[in-house]
């Protein structure tokens, strides 16, 4: 067990725990339920999400054997049948609206054992959860080819027109009845929403009108594979053609080792609505060129090109030195869809070299970190506002639409707020465009505290801005609030003067700050002023309107200040 744990670690995997079916049940349900459960040792192995080729025992064992240099990586071969003898899958244009893509292949003369059959089913399930995104992008169907006859048709029909016997059921149902049947099924109910509200459901027929499957929900019972199945027809339908090709490649490369001629796959022809044809699986090998010094530099090692080639070959990336040792030619097999860029090759070289074998070095570049000027200024202001007798509050960056619009007497369109597409609660619908509601809610929650309440917050607000790459912009605001039996405008005004004094901004028009009478929907008429500094309006101060105060469930008068502090950095 320890050796295997070590091997997994070297290969970049993690042996999570060594357990058995019995001990899992004991842990979850107690001793009673575990009677008669198997004591066979189980290894729980964590596989990185990008390595689809390690999701089944076949691929994992093959990967480890190649890593240990006990076997060479097999060469996968697709056999294109003679004209007119191969299987054909015809896609009709009705599928375009719902699941436009399909790919197919055949595993000929395959021999299943109980273990390999279970592994075959299990791999499909793991792929469905992972790369297929719970069958939303791709759904896999595997069928006993000897029970059906091609060519096959992938089309979409109204639910009432589709009728067949679903897998492991005893009678026929229409598609609508199937939906009702599986609404309570713990496993399949999670996939119903993918097609439930569509006018047509996708379906695959053979030449005699036998239903193979209704992707992405269920296969037909007629074509179900068993331990005695000799020829398997595999179809993957989906909304993403790239993912469908990857899924098909993984399934055929993992299980072609059980065919009479190991590692061979019979190709199938897919005919598109526009008449074009394509042969699948692609099983594409490609060559990537990488400079050895690039690999060495990125990992921080000094290996010769030939030893780097050997390291990569151990990771199922067959490599050799080319061009007088100037570069490595790395062959990417169809099992490794995760190799997209040279850095993926570097990562595999590092795994094979062994992360623990890389020497730790002090970085060659000396850099001294510095605080962002805006954050530094905000920190200094926070300290001094606290010294002025105000208590700091931290409130949520998200709030409801009422908080920033209706309660402050504004229209939501005028606030320029960023909305959340699918908010989980009414409290978090938009990003705040002002800090005021957060502080007013804080006071409402602390009404029992002795008066006066003096709070402040220095945080970011968010507004839409079409000129930025993300379509929104943050501004650092300072907001302070004074809540007492009398409005206390002079206290808030005094706080503004103190902030300006700290920022070294004099009270004059030329190069300082001024305040001018203004109107604001949230403020009491005639008790609102706009603050100007650095030649621009930076915010407002004043006494809140009684309507605003009552909407936030408060009973006393309230004066506030809110300014943008970014111009002072």
Whether 308 and 431 share a structural domain: no
HEC secondary structure over 43-64: EEEECCCCCHHHCCHHHHHHHH
Residue 510 shares a structural domain with residue 385? yes
Residues 57-72: b if buried by 16+ CB within 10 A, e if exposed: ebbbebbbebbeeeee
Q: Please check whether residues 36 and 89 belong to one and the same domain.
A: no
Residues 339 and 228 in one domain: no
Please count the structural domains in the chain: 4
With a pLDDT cut of 90, the percent of the chain lying above it is: 71
119 pLDDT higher than 90: yes
Q: Which residues contact 212 (CB under 8 A, 6 or more apart)?
A: 141, 143, 148, 152, 204, 205, 206, 219, 220, 222, 223, 233, 235
**Alpha-helix residue ranges (DSSP H) falling in 207-285:** 241-255
The CATH number of residue 456's host domain is 3.30.930.10
Q: What value, to the nearest 5°, has the Cα angle with vertex 204 and ends 198 and 208?
A: 135
pLDDT digits (tens, 9 = 90+) for 139-153: 999 999 999 987 999
Structural domain includes residue 410: yes
Q: What is the pLDDT of residue 394?
A: 94
Percentage of residues in the chain having pLDDT higher than 70: 100
In DSSP notation, 416-478 reads TPPBPSS-SSTTSSEE-S-SHHHHHHHHHHTTTSPSPEEEEEEEEEEEE-TTSTTSEEEEEEE
- With contact defined as beta carbons under 8 Å apart, do 351 and 11 qualify? yes
Q: Is the pLDDT of residue 410 over 90?
A: no
Residues 336 and 208 in one domain: no
Is residue 483 predicted with pLDDT exceeding 90? yes
- Cβ neighbours for 203, distance < 8 A, ≥ 6 positions apart: 154, 155, 156, 157, 162, 175, 211, 213, 214, 215
Same domain for 64 and 134? no
When pLDDT is averaged across residues 125-134 and rounded to a whole number, the result is 92
DSSP character at residue 407: G
Residues 16, 32, single domain; the answer is yes
Average pLDDT over residues 265-286: 93
Domain endpoint, select from 221, 247, 280: 280
Q: Tokens 């003898």 — which residue?
A: 85
Task: Please report the pLDDT score of residue 315 as a whole number.
Answer: 92
Judge if 384 and 503 occupy the same domain: yes
Any idea what DSSP says for residue 109? S
Does residue 113 sit in the same domain as residue 203? yes
Q: Taking Cα atoms as reference points, which of 565, 531, 559 lies closest to residue 545?
A: 559
Sign, CA torsion 367/373/374/377: positive
Residue 293 has what pLDDT?
93
User: From CA 12, how far away is CA 64, in angstroms rounded?
Assistant: 11
- What is the model's pLDDT at position 360? 87
Please give the residue range of the domain that contains residue 9: 1-68
Residues 270 and 419 in one domain: no
The per-residue pLDDT for range 362-393, each reduced to its tens digit, is: 877 878 888 899 999 999 999 999 999 999 99
How far, in Å, CA of 236 to CA of 139, rounded? 6
Residue 54 confidence (pLDDT) = 92
Let me know whether 46 and 81 are in one domain.
no
Count of other CB atoms within 10 angstroms of residue 108 = 17
Q: Per-residue pLDDT tens for 57-92?
A: 999 999 999 999 999 989 999 999 988 888 999 999
Beta bridge partners of 261: none
Work out the mean pLDDT of the chain and round it to a whole number: 91
pLDDT of residue 67: 92
Angstrom distance (rounded) from CA 163 to CA 316: 45
Which residues have CB under 8 Å from 100's CB, separation 6+?
A: 91, 239
Count of Cβ atoms closer than 10 Å to residue 262 Cβ: 11
C-alpha–C-alpha distance, residues 160 and 201, integer Å: 10
Closest CA to 210 of 164, 271, 274: 164
Are 236 and 129 members of one domain? Answer: yes
User: How many Å apart are CA 189 and CA 443, to the nearest integer?
Assistant: 46
pLDDT digits (tens, 9 = 90+) for 491-544: 999 999 999 999 999 888 888 899 999 988 889 999 999 999 988 899 999 999
H-only helix segments in 300-359? 305-314, 342-353
Mean pLDDT is highest, among 28-32, 330-334, 364-368, for 330-334
CATH number of the domain encompassing residue 31: 3.30.56.10
Estimate to the nearest angstrom the gap between the alpha carbon of 161 and the chain centroid.
Answer: 37
């Amino acid at each position: 067990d320890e050796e295997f744990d070590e091997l997994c670690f070297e290969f970049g995997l993690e042996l999570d725990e060594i357990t058995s079916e019995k001990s899992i049940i004991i842990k979850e349900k107690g001793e009673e339920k575990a009677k008669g459960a198997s004591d066979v040792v189980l290894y729980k192995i964590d596989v990185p999400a990008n390595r689809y080729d390690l999701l089944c025992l076949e691929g994992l064992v093959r990967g480890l054997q190649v890593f240990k240099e006990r076997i060479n990586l097999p060469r996968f071969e697709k056999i294109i049948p003679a004209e007119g003898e191969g299987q054909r899958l015809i896609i009709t244009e009705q599928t375009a609206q719902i699941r436009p893509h399909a790919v197919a292949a055949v595993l000929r003369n395959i021999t299943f054992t109980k273990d390999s059959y279970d592994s075959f089913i299990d791999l499909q399930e793991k792929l469905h959860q992972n790369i297929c995104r719970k069958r939303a992008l791709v759904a896999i169907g595997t069928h006993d080819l000897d029970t059906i006859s091609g060519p096959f048709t992938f089309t979409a029909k109204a639910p009432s027109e589709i009728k067949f016997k679903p897998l492991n059921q005893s009678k026929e149902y229409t598609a609508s009845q199937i939906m009702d049947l599986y609404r309570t099924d713990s496993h399949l109910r999670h996939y119903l929403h993918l097609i439930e509200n569509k006018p047509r459901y996708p379906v695959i027929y053979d030449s005699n009108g036998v239903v193979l499957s209704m992707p992405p929900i269920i296969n037909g019972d007629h074509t179900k594979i068993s331990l005695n199945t000799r020829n398997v027809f595999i179809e993957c339908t989906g909304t993403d053609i790239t993912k469908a090709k990857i899924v098909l490649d993984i399934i055929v490369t993992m299980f072609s080792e059980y065919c009479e001629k190991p590692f061979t796959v019979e190709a199938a022809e897919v005919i598109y609505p526009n008449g074009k044809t394509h042969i699948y699986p692609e099983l594409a090998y490609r060559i990537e060129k990488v400079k050895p010094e690039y690999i060495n530099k990125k990992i921080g090692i000094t290996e010769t090109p030939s030893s780097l080639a050997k390291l990569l070959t151990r990771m199922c990336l067959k490599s050799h030195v080319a061009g007088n040792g100037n570069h490595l030619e790395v062959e990417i097999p169809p099992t490794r869809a995760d190799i997209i860029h040279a850095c993926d090759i570097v990562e595999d070289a590092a795994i094979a070299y062994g992360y623990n074998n890389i020497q730790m070095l002090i970085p060659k570049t000396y850099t001294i970190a510095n605080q962002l000027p805006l954050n530094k200024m905000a920190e200094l202001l926070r300290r001094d506002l606290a010294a002025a007798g105000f208590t700091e509050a931290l409130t949520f960056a998200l709030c409801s639409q009422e908080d920033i619009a209706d309660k402050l007497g504004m229209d939501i369109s005028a606030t320029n707020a960023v909305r959340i597409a699918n908010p989980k609660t009414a409290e978090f619908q938009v990003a705040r465009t002002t800090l005021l509601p957060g502080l007013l809610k804080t006071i409402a929650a602390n009404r029992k505290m002795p008066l006066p309440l003096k709070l402040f917050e220095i945080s970011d607000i968010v507004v839409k801005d079409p000129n930025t790459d993300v379509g929104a912009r943050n501004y650092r605001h300072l907001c302070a609030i004074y809540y007492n039996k009398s409005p206390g405008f002079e206290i808030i005004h005094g706080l503004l003067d103190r902030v300006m004094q700290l920022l070294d901004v004099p009270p004059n028009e030329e190069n300082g700050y001024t305040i001018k009478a203004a109107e604001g929907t949230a403020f009491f008429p005639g008790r609102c002023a706009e603050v100007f500094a650095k030649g621009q309006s930076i915010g407002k101060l004043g006494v809140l309107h009684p309507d605003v105060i009552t909407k936030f469930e408060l009973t006393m008068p309230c004066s506030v200040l809110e300014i943008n502090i970014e111009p002072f950095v």
